[in-house]
């Protein structure tokens, strides 16, 4: 068994290996062919290939000696104005020595930069545009100031679909001599929520327990209740069986070591998969999840609130919907006004 982290071991080496981002990859390949490009801004959720695409772009541009022409930084570690004034500016002011007429600075998690640092970066991008190209990566492009966004070509990455994640996990399992069940891979996907990095880490954690990976092994690693367990709780509640629903819910929490927030998040996702339920009632269930999550965020006792949520579910008719719960946010606002 290798000690190498699989997310690094199986990271795409070239743009052609980047999965499920065809629109992005085709534009990046055009930059490689012309050996010219603007500043780039990669935006999208975690674990969908932003960093992998940036490193693959550097490899395709500069070849095996790409490290000499690329400065890779993580803005969440070094987020102040000094990193822009010193490290970035020192690297940017020197000229490229390879066939490509510019060097590359990759700034990961750029949305963690302070506003002052972003304004300093904007000026640096202008001053050294002849010798350096910037690739910025962020989860939320709205946190990047407009002057920087206007200087960059924006690439938006999308969530990886189920089939891509499962295919990737299957290929890794084959290379690592792992046996798995379809249910295990599906559960890893559900826990990862489309994050390829998280999915690979979960698979590697499962492989440390056994080479024969099934649903039970995945449950031990992810502390994630099976969707059918959550569905049973919801169905018992809306059928009016409050005590059964309460007992099953708390058993799941103890068995998997889940918090109240974890449980509400899983319930919310499972509500959309329920069958034989009126759409308006489904929306009422979703609204209840939001209200009780807000209460937990505000510091309320999670067991009391989960019981209250189940009690609310029992009052919702699956074939008709009515307003049963006052708007929590309005109640808080009214209390503050008083």
Give percent of the chain above pLDDT 70.
Answer: 89
In angstroms, rounded to a whole number, what is the distance separating the alpha carbons of residues 9 and 5? 6
**116 in any annotated domain:** yes
Q: What is the pTM of this model?
A: 0.73
Q: Domain check: are 104 and 29 in the same one? A: yes
In angstroms, rounded to a whole number, what is the distance separating the alpha carbons of residues 292 and 332? 13
Q: Domain check: are 174 and 94 in the same one? A: no
Residue 200 near residue 7, CB atoms below 8 Å = yes
Domain count of the fold of the chain: 3
Query: What's the pLDDT score for residue 319?
Result: 53
Residue 131 has pLDDT above 70, yes or no: yes
In angstroms, rounded to a whole number, what is the distance separating the alpha carbons of residues 217 and 175? 20
Please, what sign has the CA dihedral across residues 162, 205, 262, 110?
negative
Q: Domain with 15 in it: what CATH number?
A: 3.40.50.300
**85 in any annotated domain:** yes
In angstroms, rounded to a whole number, what is the distance separating the alpha carbons of residues 208 and 241? 40
Quick one: DSSP state of residue 174?
Answer: H
Q: Domain with 169 in it: what CATH number?
A: 1.10.8.60
In angstroms, rounded to a whole number, what is the distance separating the alpha carbons of residues 18 and 69? 22
Q: Structural domain of residue 170, as residue ranges?
A: 162-222
- Per-residue pLDDT of 178-217, as tens digits, reads 888 888 888 888 888 888 888 999 999 998 888 889 888 8
In angstroms, rounded to a whole number, what is the distance separating the alpha carbons of residues 25 and 22? 5
Q: Domain check: are 50 and 144 in the same one? A: yes
Nearest to 177 by CA among 2, 18, 9, 11: 2
* Model confidence band, residue 291 (pLDDT cutoffs 50, 70, 90): very high
* The domain boundary residue, chosen from 103, 122, 156: 156
Q: Domain check: are 17 and 143 in the same one? A: yes
In angstroms, rounded to a whole number, what is the distance separating the alpha carbons of residues 123 and 201? 39
Which residues neighbour 263 within 8 Å (Cβ) at sequence distance 6 or greater? Answer: 225, 230, 249, 252, 253, 306
* The domain boundary residue, chosen from 138, 156, 174: 156
Q: Domain check: are 233 and 283 in the same one? A: yes
In angstroms, rounded to a whole number, what is the distance separating the alpha carbons of residues 102 and 104? 7
Residue 47 near residue 194, CB atoms below 8 Å = yes
Find which of 1-5, 56-60, 67-71, 87-91 is predicted with most confidence, using mean pLDDT. 56-60
Residue 147 has pLDDT above 50, yes or no: yes
Query: What's the pLDDT score for residue 325?
Result: 42
Residue 337 has pLDDT above 70, yes or no: no
Average of per-residue pLDDT values in the chain: 84
Q: Domain check: are 213 and 270 in the same one? A: no
* Model confidence band, residue 324 (pLDDT cutoffs 50, 70, 90): very low
**308 in any annotated domain:** yes
**1 in any annotated domain:** no
Q: Domain check: are 169 and 193 in the same one? A: yes
Q: Domain check: are 191 and 138 in the same one? A: no
Higher model confidence: residue 259 or residue 2?
259
* The domain boundary residue, chosen from 176, 206, 222: 222
């Amino acid at each position: 068994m290798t000690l190498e982290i699989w997310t690094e071991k199986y990271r795409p080496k070239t743009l052609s290996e980047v999965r499920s981002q065809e629109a992005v990859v085709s534009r990046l390949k055009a930059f490689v062919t012309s050996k010219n490009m603007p500043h780039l801004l990669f935006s999208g959720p975690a674990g969908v290939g932003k960093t992998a695409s940036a490193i693959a772009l550097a490899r395709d541009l500069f070849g095996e000696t790409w490290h000499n022409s690329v400065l890779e930084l993580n803005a969440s570690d070094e987020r102040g104005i000094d990193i822009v004034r010193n490290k970035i500016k020192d690297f940017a002011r020197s000229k490229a020595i390879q066939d490509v007429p510019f060097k590359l600075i990759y700034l990961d998690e750029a949305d963690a930069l302070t506003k002052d640092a972003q304004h300093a970066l904007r000026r640096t991008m202008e001053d050294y545009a002849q010798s350096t190209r910037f690739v910025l990566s962020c989860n939320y492009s709205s946190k990047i100031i407009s002057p920087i966004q206007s200087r960059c070509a924006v690439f938006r990455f999308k969530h990886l679909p189920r089939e891509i994640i499962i295919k990737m996990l299957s290929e890794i399992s084959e290379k690592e001599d792992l046996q798995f069940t379809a249910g295990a891979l599906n559960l890893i996907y559900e826990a990862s929520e489309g994050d390829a990095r998280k999915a690979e880490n979960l698979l590697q954690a499962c492989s440390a327990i056994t080479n024969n990976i099934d649903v039970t092994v995945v449950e031990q690693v992810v502390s994630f209740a099976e969707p059918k367990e959550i569905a049973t709780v919801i169905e018992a509640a809306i059928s009016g069986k409050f005590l059964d629903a309460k007992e099953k819910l708390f058993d799941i929490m103890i068995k998997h070591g889940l918090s109240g927030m974890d449980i509400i998040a899983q319930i919310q996702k499972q509500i959309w998969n329920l069958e034989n339920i009126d759409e308006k009632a489904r929306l009422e269930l979703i609204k209840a999840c939001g209200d009780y999550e807000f209460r937990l965020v505000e510091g309320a006792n999670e067991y009391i609130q989960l019981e209250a949520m189940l009690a609310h579910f029992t009052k919702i008719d699956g074939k008709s919907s009515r307003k049963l719960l006052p708007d929590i946010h309005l109640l808080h606002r009214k209390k503050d006004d008083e």
